[in-house]
Amino acid sequence: MPVHNNDIAIIFNEIADLLEIESANPFRIRAYRNAARTLQGMGQEVSVYLKQEKALTDLPGIGKDLAAKIQEILDTGHCQSLEKLRKATPAGLTDLLHIPGLGPKRVHALYHELDIHTPEQLLRAAKDGRVHTLPGFGIKTEQSIIADIEAHIQQKQRIKLVTAAQYAEPLVAYLEKVHGVDRVIVAGSYRRRKETVGDLDILVSAAKSDKVMDAFVHYDEVHEVLSKGTTRSTIILRNGLQVDLRVVSKQSFGAALYYFTGSKAHNIAVRRRAQQRKLKINEYGVYKGDKQIAGATEESVFESIGLPYIPPELRENTGEIEAAEKHQLPKLVELKDLRGDLHAHSKATDGHNSIKEMAEAARAFGFEYLAITEHSRHLTVAHGLDEKRLRKQIEEIDRLNAELQGITLLKGIELDILEDGQLDLPDAVLAKLDLVVGAVHSKFHLSRAKQTERILRAMDHPHFTLLAHPSGRLLETRDAYDVDMSRIIRHARQRGCYLELNAQPDRLDLLDTYCHMAKDEGVLISVDSDAHSINDFRNLEYGIGQARRGWLEKADVLNTRSLSQLRKLLKQTM
């Protein structure tokens, strides 16, 4: 049975959770967390990696012990270390860690002081007033716990887009090999490149459906078959993800693909337009009376109602239909348009490769330039650079630029924006850089007014170039901090600096709506990988998906410029 990178990462993160609850060695816990991040960010299945005769210990943060555990999981699907920890810990206790504001220390206290094992038990204890009596909690925390658990229990499971891809892509490849299959496409929010996915909708074009349905329900990773029919079947994968499969004929494939891609609001608006023309649109085609007049392709569906093709990423009923009517749809940016990356780290701080290795990987990715932007000294957990170490790195980059061919390294820093809006390093060293990337890494819970003013003051600094991951969110882990993003965007326009769309799949930050707002204000967006290893440039495809959802064109993206064009724009901000 196949084992995906995410399956191993889930095991390692659960081990880390259980170790944290029992207050184990923090270095041991961090090793599991780092290994999980490495696996999730690889962009290549570890099983494929091993077939290329590469060593697991060559991967960032993977030593002999973790390599052995990865091999054990690949061979057996299980990890004995996790099984031992589970036996020593009440079932369901790690679910408490998914409640906002409950870290391992608080979970440890709830378990040992109140014998709480599950979110449901915690909800009862909080409503009974027993939680606020514990040290480190309080009445406000207790009230927040009640609201957060009720939302957590009601929330439908969604997974990050990058995780969904690990399961969708091999399933598509499997179905494409079935005899008689013409096309296989994943529709729904996955095709619209939403940040998270609730389930997968797969469409297959085939003359006959029986072989496709048999293959689908007998796929190796099926945990449960919910239904099996002649044109539709539904399964649950081992990771809990629901997958719906529909088999349609060639003459209806475009209509079905359009219908099941959504969004619901977009489809309703288009159907209303069709009705005004005495037409009917459904998953089988476009009909005038009983006659099908379109539906073999998506283009034919749009053409039948007098519209040009609208890309899937725009189908949210946020103005795309009106833009199509006026022939003002954007020509959306593509991955191939990127000329470089303005946010990357090396082993000098919390990256996993040398600067030279990062440069060579960027060149192999097709880039003309790469900015090395280590963390600054305030972020001690990342071993951030102080002024002395940054000056040494500037000299190192100058030496590398003298010997590297086909790639230019830009000198930068990912500088902490302090609570008062000051930057983390002195002007004397910032003046020697090509760009300064400012970022909020602390004090996430400031009021909206204070957080906004903090960032605005930082942007006013003469060396400030680019605001990194502007909302600070981490998908499924940390909500965006409260900030007036419209003011931030307008200030960036006035100041002449730029905003980042961070392509790291845990971030995908900016939101698509803010990308669109920045475009309208004429503020350029840099789509960056935030690479911490040579494999992370592959994540840019997710950043481009988010940029497309934000209506961004090539001209709206800072790092689609050539190096000479980019240097001119960077100088304007310094």
Instruction: Tell me the sheet residues that pair with 371.
Output: 410
- What is the per-residue pLDDT across 172-213, written as a single tens digit (0 to 9) for each? 999 999 999 999 999 999 999 999 999 999 999 998 899 999
> Which token pair is 311?
């890309």
- What is the per-residue pLDDT across 91-106, written as a single tens digit (0 to 9) for each? 667 778 777 778 777 8
Residues 213 and 247: beta-carbon distance below 8 Å: yes
Instruction: Tell me the sheet residues that pair with 286.
Output: 281, 294
Instruction: Tell me the sheet residues that pair with 531.
Output: 344
C-alpha 513/C-alpha 519 separation (Å) is 10
pLDDT of residue 479 exceeding 90, the answer is: no
> Which token pair is 541?
């495809």
Phi, psi at 173, each rounded to 5°: -60, -40
* CATH 3.30.210.10 is held by the domain 253-325: yes
- List Cβ neighbours of 187 (8 Å cut-off, separation of 6 or more): 201, 202, 203, 257, 260, 261, 262
Q: What is the reported pLDDT for 99?
A: 79
C-alpha 6/C-alpha 12 separation (Å) is 10
| Topology at the third CATH level for domain 159-248 | Beta Polymerase; domain 2 (3.30.460)
Least reliable range by pLDDT among 70-84, 247-261, 397-411, 541-555 = 70-84
- Name the residue with tokens 């909800």: 123
- List Cβ neighbours of 459 (8 Å cut-off, separation of 6 or more): 438, 467, 488, 491, 492, 495, 497
Q: What is the 3-state secondary structure (H, E, C) of 317-329?
A: CCCHHHHHHCCCC
Q: What is the reported pLDDT for 1?
A: 65
Instruction: Tell me the sheet residues that pair with 478.
Output: 474
Q: What is the reported pLDDT for 124?
A: 87
pLDDT of residue 574 exceeding 70, the answer is: no
Q: What is the mean pLDDT of residues 236-250?
A: 94
Rg (CA), the chain: 25
**195 SS3 class:** coil
Class of domain 335-573: alpha beta
C-alpha 303/C-alpha 295 separation (Å) is 10
| Topology at the third CATH level for domain 5-154 | DNA polymerase; domain 1 (1.10.150)
Q: How does residue 153 score in pLDDT terms, banded at 50, 70 and 90?
A: low
Q: What is the reported pLDDT for 91?
A: 63
Residues 195 and 549: beta-carbon distance below 8 Å: no
Residues 218 and 233: beta-carbon distance below 8 Å: no
User: Considering the chain, what percentage of its residues have pLDDT values greater than 90?
Assistant: 72
Residues 389 and 397: beta-carbon distance below 8 Å: no
C-alpha 527/C-alpha 540 separation (Å) is 7
Q: What is the reported pLDDT for 422?
A: 94
C-alpha 136/C-alpha 424 separation (Å) is 31
- What is the per-residue pLDDT across 308-340, written as a single tens digit (0 to 9) for each? 999 999 999 999 999 999 999 999 999 999 999
- What is the per-residue pLDDT across 491-549, written as a single tens digit (0 to 9) for each? 999 999 999 999 999 999 999 999 999 999 999 999 999 999 999 999 999 999 999 99
Domains 253-325 and 335-573 share a fold: no
pLDDT of residue 59 exceeding 90, the answer is: no
The domain ranges of the chain are: 5-154, 159-248, 253-325, 335-573
> What rounded mean pLDDT belongs to the chain?
92
Phi, psi at 296, each rounded to 5°: -65, -30
C-alpha 217/C-alpha 542 separation (Å) is 30
